[in-house]
Structure 1
Amino acid sequence: MDVRRKAAAFAAVLAGVSGVMMASAPPAAAVGGCPSGKLCLYRSTEYRTMSFEAASTSACFELDDYGLTYPFNGINSYVNNLPVKATLYHSEPTGWYAMSTIRPGGFSSNTGALTADGYWYRYSEKICTGSATP
Structure 2
Amino acid sequence: MKRIGTTLAGILALAVGGTLVNAAPAAAVGGCPSDKLCLYRSTEYRTLAFTAASTEACFWLSDYGMSHGTNGINSYVNNLPVKATIWQTADLNNWYAHGTIRPGGYTSDTGAVTGGGFSWWKESDMICTGSAVPD
Where on the TM-score scale, by shorter chain, does this alignment land: which range? 0.7 to 0.9
Q: When the two structures are superposed, what TM-score results if normalisation uses the length of structure 1?
A: 0.75
Tell me which residue corresponds to 1:7: none
Tell me which residue corresponds to 1:110: 109
For residues 59-107 of structure 1, give each alpha carbon's deviation from its aligned partner in whole angstroms, at most 9, with x where no partner exists: 0000000001120110000000000000000004560000110000000
Task: Report how many residues are paired.
Answer: 107
Aligned mates of 1:57, 1:118 — CA distance in 2: 29
Tell me which residue corresponds to 2:123: 123
Relative to structure 1, is the Cα distance of residues 118 and 77 closer, same or farther in structure 2, using a 3 angstrom cutoff?
A: farther
CA RMSD across the alignment: 1.6
Q: When the two structures are superposed, what TM-score results if normalisation uses the length of structure 2?
A: 0.75
Aligned mates of 2:117, 2:107 — CA distance in 1: 14
Q: How does 1:1-134 map to 2 (within 5 A)?
A: 30-93=28-91, 95-114=94-113, 115-116=115-116, 119-134=119-134
Q: Give the greater-gyration-radius structure (CA).
A: 1
Aligned mates of 1:128, 1:67 — CA distance in 2: 16
On the 8 A contact 1:43/1:77 being kept in 2, the answer is yes
Q: Which runs of 4+ in 1 moved over 6 A?
A: none
Aligned mates of 1:50, 1:117 — CA distance in 2: 23
Gaps of 5+ in 2: 1-24
Gaps of 5+ in 1: 1-27
